[in-house]
Chain A
Amino acid sequence: MNEDKEGLMNRAPIILIVEDDRDIRDVLAEILAEEGYQVLVAEDGADGLRRLAEGPLPDLILLDLMMPRMDGYQFREEQRKNPAWSGIPLVLLTAGVETSDKITALGALDIVRKPVKIDFLLDLIGAAVRRAA
């Protein structure tokens, strides 16, 4: 995969993790970094938007839904409002039992229900990044 990424962009793909649970967020960032991704982290929706505004823009966003202050839905809404951000593909990482309609409406590339095998998640991220490229 390193070949692909380098071939396409000549840089490591950037992943933004928006996740309120610190344990999940930290371990996921660590693993993704080891896999060669550049990782940005945000502890809630508002933090995520701040990250987007600060740049650099990620190639993929991993988004949790239930978060304090600003949840995933609100984040996605804001993201879609900004033309510069709206094209960034999104993978939902959710522990809830939300109705599928509501989630489908978010237009995510993939929806992953917690808990999830890390290998599966990594394959998904890799494919998503390749497709975006």
Chain B
Amino acid sequence: MSGGPSDPPGAGGSSLRLIVGLARAIAQTRDDPAAVAEVATRALVHEFADGSAVTLGADLDIRAYAHRDPGAEELLRDNFGGMPLGLLPAGRVIASGRPIFHPQMPAEFAADLSPELRAFVRRYEVASVIIVPIRAEDAVVGALSLWREHGRPPFDDDDLDTAHVCAEHVGLALEHALVFRALRDREARFELAVRATQEVLWDWDVTTHEVLWGDAMDETLAWPRDQVRSTFGWWADHIHPDDRARVLAEIEVIIRDNADRERWQLEYRFCRGDGGWADIIDRGFVQRDDHGRLRRLVGAMQDVSDRVAVTRRLARREASYRAFIAACDEAIWCLEGDEPVATELPADAQIDLWYARWQIRECNDAMARLHGYERADELRGADMGLVFPRDDPRLCELHRAFIARGHRLVDFELVEPDRGGGERRSLCSLLGTVDDGRLHRVWGTRRDVTALLRQATGLTRDRPARAQTDPRAEDLPGLLRAGQLGTWSLDPGTDVPVLSRELADILGRPPEGDADPWAAVHPEDRARVRAELHAAAAARGDYAIEFRFVRADTGALGWMEVRGRASHDASGRATAIHGIGIDITRRKQVELDLRDSEQLFARAFGKNPNPMTVNAIPGGEYLEVNEAAIRAHGFSREEMLGKSPRQLGVLVDADDIDRFDRLLGQRHPVRDLEMRLRSKAGRAFSVLMSAERIEYRQRPCVLTVAVDVSARKRAEWALLESEERFRQIAATIDEAFWLMEFSPYWRFVYVSPGWEHAWRRAPEDLYGDPTLWTRAIHPDDRVAAESSQRDLVTGAVDFRDLEYRVVRPDGAVRWIRDRGTLIRDASGRPWRAAGIAEDITERKLAERERERLVSDLQVAIAVRDDFLSVASHELRTPLTALGFHLEHLVRLVARGEHDPEVLGRKVDGAIRQIGRVTALVDSLIHVSRMSLGRLSLDLTEFDLVDLVRDLVARIGPDAQRARCDVRVDVPAELPGAWDRKQLDQALHNLLANALKYGAGRPVDVRVHDCGRVVVIEVQDRGIGIADEDRPRIFDRFERAVSSAHYGGFGLGLYIARRIVEAHGGALEVTSTPGQGSTFRLQLPRQAAQP
């Protein structure tokens, strides 16, 4: 912006810098139009605030108003006198005088200066104002304003032009920003759209609040496409109300904290299109722009309902177990340690190890009470010695019996002294879990039967004889009630049971006068119970029968177990059937629950669409596999059972084998472990494996569920990589990809890093300033490049293939091949162009080299052809003369001519021709020998002066014929070591040349003694040699002038040069055309063999 009095002389240059700086600044913030305008303003001020143009900063107020800024119009109106944004003029106002408007100013503003504008001019005391509209997408979107205070010369037309250029750049940058963003979004969404998987992919553009849903929404979640709304709100509304607040809070955190591309995972229930709830695992990543602002949230919803259902059922079963254990009247405990105990050890060694290593892992309250504690928690984790003293001989017996019977012991009777000085009797059962020859844990139960044994001795198998006791004995009731049992007896003869009061209570019968105690038994079980009792009595065995009962008072259903034995008389007839009845309702319910749960589990397991397996611990052998697992692995059930995944080759990666082993040792449930498996056919697939420890067939096992995620992994990877792939390709190749758009100005929207490679300029610079492209081109190629660009932009051509040179900032020149293809929009107008610019400098150089070689070759061929023609001429000439001489001789003799002088002349002439032919042939042989590098020297000591004098004498007749006077200037003598014959040849050639081209003028031969070097000069005063011919006259078959004029092969100088060089000397020539040449021959005094 020139025009200010204090502008430095280079103000024009600073304007340019301003534009470039502006463009660069804009390019850096191109994603955000508001930031563009802000930075544009800052850049302007900054440029003018730096030393070179400091004065402009103070009196310039440059404002750019943002695109989409709702306040822009208002601001413009306030500042620029009510001018509507759309009509913003490009003009100049001078406050002090009459307003002068730019020709483009609309008439309504030219007619009168609006009062607001006048007020503005007065208020700010400005001398002149430039207001320039900023256009983008063919609309005015803002304004660039510059004003200057009083006391400064007003702006002039140059300033206006500069302001226009600035505004144009701001507009261009704004436009570029929008186009670039749209382009990127479009591409990314396209990638999403094409990758429809079973999972519901979704893409939430946070700037538009639009959510794009993948096709699987229909298939997986039963949502018809037309019912799915593309909003974030719709999604949030369909999250289960119990999960919604949590999920939204998690999303907020993700949006706030996740880095670009960082993965996240959410779990929630989502409403299906058919009204059900689906358990969803939603995984994805966030995408941020270069400034860390959130751009998109991309995810994939996976329906994991099946898996969750199984997990819940398992949990329910676990709960049932626990409830049973907790509620059980018997003491129950479990002993387990970090290390299993080998079963092949001697029994006592095994027992020692238990005591050393094992703890009470699990027990119930009944167990605690049995040992004088209140709650099970107090015992859990305690050493087993706490409740099972190591030195107790009975316990020792118990444990030995347990080991001796194969780690399974039922109803072992323990007798211990109790606190009252009596004895306590209990029945103890132990069950060990043995696997792979090692005992992993022991479950134990213990039932205190002291009272029973004492009061109902006849009912125990050990003391059947004492069963005569009256069941209604007065001292029993308290005990029996506490044990939830009662006694009864039956006379087989009457078939009427007699119930104790306690039993009647349990069954809800009247305590006295029960007419029909059988009514207590559920009608469906009555016959069976009766039959079993009689059968037991007949067989003289113990009985234990379970049946349902119906309480007479409440009608409630319960379960009872009766057990006992019959008494027989001497004849063996059953006299009475005694027994105890125990209320087992609670236990039975738990058992039934368990059975239901087992069935549910079996169904969930068998029918589950995901591969599920039960694997043994610790080996990992398959104990059970479902249909999906069989399908996924490709093995038959028989092939899989009993083999471990490792044995089957299902696990391939060492890492995964490790992970699986760890998983087997894990006590806690494991979720979504990523693993790669291989089927029998060799197909590799990725799964997310979840595992949970369960008890299966009395063995500790791991239940695994694998979800095949191969398809999803592929989609995820593809999604992640799709953008990267293009960038990587673009980044790794040397060629530069470029993509340009034409409307409304042509400019680059993408240039790959390869650009930098060839241009040594940052591709980003091009975004802000497309003219950088042309400016970097070599001036000689620029016109062609610009014309080609014009053709592309106007659509005159659809393809360009252009070669041009670019000048790098360091001045180096590179050749570029730039190929571009025009892309037209739907209406056929040129829309974009895409292409590749490659650095072909090396190729170009090689081409040049090849061209040079071809040209050299062509010259060589021409020289050879010329030589052949000359050689032919040269050889034919003496042969013709020879023929004529001989034929003439014949004619003379035939005519009777006998004059010996006449005949002798003819013969002499003939002999001379033979000499000429011989000399020609000799020189040819000489040359061919030299060109084969066979020039060897026959060095002798001789006087060079002698040689020169001899040569000049011999060439005398030729000199005479050429009418040249040969003058000699030599020292007295000049001995040295050279090849005399060769040197003679070289000097002869030089002299012959001088005579040939000497134009009949005197030729000088001079010899100088220069110590270790001798110099011989041959100077003629003939036609001379042109400068451009001088370098080549020493080559083979070369001559400076047309061969038509001078005889000889053109080999003379070549031969001379080779001979001199073989001597270690040099042959040079100085010449002035028209005045003659001087050949200067330098030789070492003592030549050596080359």
Binding site for B on A (CB under 8 A): 20-24, 26-28, 30-31, 34, 65-69, 71, 95-98, 113-119
Q: Check B881 against A23 for contact (C-beta < 8 Å).
A: yes
Hey, which chain A residues are within 8 Å of B891, CB to CB?
31, 34, 118
Hey, which chain B residues are within 8 Å of A69, CB to CB?
1045
Task: Say whether B454 faces chain A, with CB atoms less than 8 Å apart.
Answer: no
- 4 smallest beta-carbon distances between A and B, as pairs: A95-B876, A23-B881, A68-B1045, A114-B880
Q: Could you tell me the distance between the alpha carbons of A20 and B891 in the complex, rounded to whole angstroms?
A: 24
Task: Say whether B696 faces chain A, with CB atoms less than 8 Å apart.
Answer: no
Task: Say whether B887 faces chain A, with CB atoms less than 8 Å apart.
Answer: yes
Looking at the complex, which one of A27, A67, A95, A119 makes contact with B1045 (CB distance below 8 Å)? A67
Query: In this complex, which of A28, A68, A119 has the most chain B Cβ atoms within 10 angstroms of its Cβ?
Result: A68
What distance in Å separates the Cβ of A103 from its nearest Cβ neighbour in chain B?
13
Q: Could you tell me the distance between the alpha carbons of A98 and B1047 in the complex, rounded to whole angstroms?
A: 16
Q: Check A118 against B879 for contact (C-beta < 8 Å).
A: no
Hey, which chain A residues are within 8 Å of B880, CB to CB?
21, 24, 95, 114-116
Closest to A25 in B: B881
Known: A23-B884, A27-B881. 10 other contacts (CB 8 A): A21-B877, A26-B909, A27-B888, A27-B909, A65-B1044, A68-B1047, A95-B877, A96-B872, A114-B876, A118-B887
What distance in Å separates the Cβ of A97 from its nearest Cβ neighbour in chain B?
5
What distance in Å separates the Cβ of B1047 from its nearest Cβ neighbour in chain A?
8
B: contact size bracket: 20 to 34
Q: Check B883 against A118 for contact (C-beta < 8 Å).
A: yes
Q: Check B883 against A95 for contact (C-beta < 8 Å).
A: no
Q: Check B1044 against A23 for contact (C-beta < 8 Å).
A: no
Looking at the complex, which one of A26, A98, A114 makes contact with B877 (CB distance below 8 Å)? A114
Closest to B1046 in A: A68
Q: Check B1044 against A115 for contact (C-beta < 8 Å).
A: no
Query: In this complex, which of B877, B887, B1043, B1047 has the most chain A Cβ atoms within 10 angstroms of its Cβ?
Result: B877
Question: Can you list 28 pairs linking A and B with CB atoms under 8 Å apart?
Answer: A20-B1047, A23-B878, A24-B877, A24-B884, A26-B909, A27-B881, A27-B888, A27-B909, A28-B884, A30-B888, A31-B891, A34-B891, A67-B1044, A68-B1045, A68-B1046, A68-B1047, A95-B880, A96-B872, A97-B868, A97-B869, A113-B876, A114-B876, A114-B877, A115-B882, A115-B883, A116-B880, A118-B887, A118-B891
Q: Could you tell me the distance between the alpha carbons of A34 and B887 in the complex, rounded to whole angstroms?
A: 13
Hey, which chain A residues are within 8 Å of B885, CB to CB?
23, 27
Within 8 A of A (CB), among B55-93: none
Task: Say whether B913 faces chain A, with CB atoms less than 8 Å apart.
Answer: yes
Which secondary structure characterizes the binding site on chain A?
loop
Supposing A23-B912, A66-B873, A95-B877 touch, asked if A116 and B883 sit within 8 A by C-beta, the answer is yes
Q: Could you tell me the distance between the alpha carbons of A20 and B883 in the complex, rounded to whole angstroms?
A: 17
Hey, which chain A residues are within 8 Å of B912, CB to CB?
23
Q: Could you tell me the distance between the alpha carbons of A61 and B909 in the complex, rounded to whole angstroms?
A: 24
Q: Could you tell me the distance between the alpha carbons of A26 and B876 in the complex, rounded to whole angstroms?
A: 16
Q: Could you tell me the distance between the alpha carbons of A117 and B891 in the complex, rounded to whole angstroms?
A: 12
Q: Could you tell me the distance between the alpha carbons of A23 and B878 in the complex, rounded to whole angstroms?
A: 8
Hey, which chain A residues are within 8 Å of B909, CB to CB?
23, 26-27
Task: Say whether B961 faces chain A, with CB atoms less than 8 Å apart.
Answer: yes
Looking at the complex, which one of A23, A31, A68 makes contact with B913 (CB distance below 8 Å)? A23
Within 8 A of A (CB), among B297-319: none
What distance in Å separates the Cβ of B828 from its nearest Cβ neighbour in chain A?
56
Q: Could you tell me the distance between the alpha carbons of A21 and B883 in the complex, rounded to whole angstroms?
A: 14
What distance in Å separates the Cβ of A3 from its nearest Cβ neighbour in chain B?
19
Q: Could you tell me the distance between the alpha carbons of A95 and B884 in the complex, rounded to whole angstroms?
A: 14
Closest to B1045 in A: A68
What distance in Å separates the Cβ of B903 from its nearest Cβ neighbour in chain A?
13
What distance in Å separates the Cβ of A87 from its nearest Cβ neighbour in chain B?
26
Supposing A23-B913, A67-B1044 touch, asked if A96 and B881 sit within 8 A by C-beta, the answer is no
What distance in Å separates the Cβ of B672 from its nearest Cβ neighbour in chain A?
91
Q: Check B876 against A115 for contact (C-beta < 8 Å).
A: yes
Q: Could you tell me the distance between the alpha carbons of A80 and B883 in the complex, rounded to whole angstroms?
A: 32
What distance in Å separates the Cβ of A106 from its nearest Cβ neighbour in chain B?
14
Q: Could you tell me the distance between the alpha carbons of A24 and B882 in the complex, rounded to whole angstroms?
A: 8
What distance in Å separates the Cβ of A16 from its nearest Cβ neighbour in chain B?
18
Q: Could you tell me the distance between the alpha carbons of A28 and B433 in the complex, rounded to whole angstroms?
A: 136
Q: Could you tell me the distance between the alpha carbons of A13 and B156 in the complex, rounded to whole angstroms?
A: 96
Q: Could you tell me the distance between the alpha carbons of A22 and B1047 in the complex, rounded to whole angstroms?
A: 12
Q: Check B869 against A96 for contact (C-beta < 8 Å).
A: yes
Interface string of B431-454 (1 = CB under 8 A from A): 000000000000000000000000
Within 8 A of A (CB), among B842-892: 868-869, 872-874, 876-885, 887-888, 891
Q: Could you tell me the distance between the alpha carbons of A29 and B872 in the complex, rounded to whole angstroms?
A: 24
Closest to B892 in A: A34
Looking at the complex, which one of A22, A24, A66, A114 makes contact with B1044 (CB distance below 8 Å)? A66
Interface string of B883-926 (1 = CB under 8 A from A): 11101100100000000000000000100110000000000000
Query: In this complex, which of B869, B881, B883, B909 has the most chain A Cβ atoms within 10 angstroms of its Cβ?
Result: B881
Q: Could you tell me the distance between the alpha carbons of A115 and B882 in the complex, rounded to whole angstroms?
A: 9
Q: Could you tell me the distance between the alpha carbons of A22 and B961 in the complex, rounded to whole angstroms?
A: 10
Hey, which chain A residues are within 8 Å of B878, CB to CB?
23
Q: Could you tell me the distance between the alpha carbons of A113 and B885 in the complex, rounded to whole angstroms?
A: 17
Closest to B897 in A: A34
Q: Could you tell me the distance between the alpha carbons of A97 and B879 in the complex, rounded to whole angstroms?
A: 15
Q: Could you tell me the distance between the alpha carbons of A66 and B891 in the complex, rounded to whole angstroms?
A: 29
Q: Check B872 against A95 for contact (C-beta < 8 Å).
A: yes
Q: Check B869 against A118 for contact (C-beta < 8 Å).
A: no
Q: Could you tell me the distance between the alpha carbons of A71 and B1044 in the complex, rounded to whole angstroms?
A: 7
Looking at the complex, which one of A65, A67, A117 makes contact with B887 (CB distance below 8 Å)? A117
Closest to A23 in B: B881
Q: Could you tell me the distance between the alpha carbons of A20 and B874 in the complex, rounded to whole angstroms?
A: 12
Closest to B881 in A: A23
What distance in Å separates the Cβ of A72 from its nearest Cβ neighbour in chain B?
9
Q: Could you tell me the distance between the alpha carbons of A23 and B873 in the complex, rounded to whole angstroms?
A: 15
Hey, which chain A residues are within 8 Å of B879, CB to CB?
114-115
Closest to A121 in B: B884
What distance in Å separates the Cβ of A9 from its nearest Cβ neighbour in chain B?
25
Hey, which chain B residues are within 8 Å of A67, CB to CB?
1044-1045
Supposing A24-B877, A27-B888, A116-B883 touch, asked if A71 and B1045 sit within 8 A by C-beta, the answer is yes
Closest to B865 in A: A97
Hey, which chain A residues are within 8 Å of B872, CB to CB?
95-97
Q: Could you tell me the distance between the alpha carbons of A95 and B891 in the complex, rounded to whole angstroms?
A: 24
Hey, which chain B residues are within 8 Å of A115, CB to CB?
876, 879-880, 882-883
Hey, which chain B residues are within 8 Å of A65, CB to CB?
1044
Q: Could you tell me the distance between the alpha carbons of A30 and B891 in the complex, rounded to whole angstroms?
A: 12
Hey, which chain B residues are within 8 Å of A97, CB to CB?
868-869, 872-873
What distance in Å separates the Cβ of B776 from its nearest Cβ neighbour in chain A?
52
Q: Could you tell me the distance between the alpha carbons of A67 and B1046 in the complex, rounded to whole angstroms?
A: 7
Query: In this complex, which of A30, A98, A116 has the most chain B Cβ atoms within 10 angstroms of its Cβ?
Result: A30
Q: Check A95 against B888 for contact (C-beta < 8 Å).
A: no
Closest to B875 in A: A95
Hey, which chain B residues are within 8 Å of A119, CB to CB?
887
What distance in Å separates the Cβ of B920 from its nearest Cβ neighbour in chain A?
13
Closest to A27 in B: B884
Closest to B895 in A: A34
Q: Check B887 against A95 for contact (C-beta < 8 Å).
A: no
Hey, which chain B residues are within 8 Å of A98, CB to CB?
869
Q: Check A95 against B873 for contact (C-beta < 8 Å).
A: yes
Closest to A118 in B: B887
Within 8 A of A (CB), among B1031-1082: 1043-1047
Within 8 A of A (CB), among B620-672: none
Hey, which chain A residues are within 8 Å of B881, CB to CB?
21, 23-24, 27
Q: Could you tell me the distance between the alpha carbons of A43 and B879 in the complex, rounded to whole angstroms?
A: 19
Hey, which chain B residues are within 8 Å of A66, CB to CB?
873, 1043-1045
What distance in Å separates the Cβ of B907 from its nearest Cβ neighbour in chain A?
12
Q: Could you tell me the distance between the alpha carbons of A80 and B885 in the complex, rounded to whole angstroms?
A: 33
Hey, which chain B residues are within 8 Å of A24, CB to CB?
877, 880-881, 884
Q: Could you tell me the distance between the alpha carbons of A67 and B1044 in the complex, rounded to whole angstroms?
A: 6
Q: Could you tell me the distance between the alpha carbons of A71 and B1042 in the complex, rounded to whole angstroms?
A: 10
Hey, which chain B residues are within 8 Å of A118, CB to CB?
883-884, 887-888, 891
Closest to B999 in A: A69
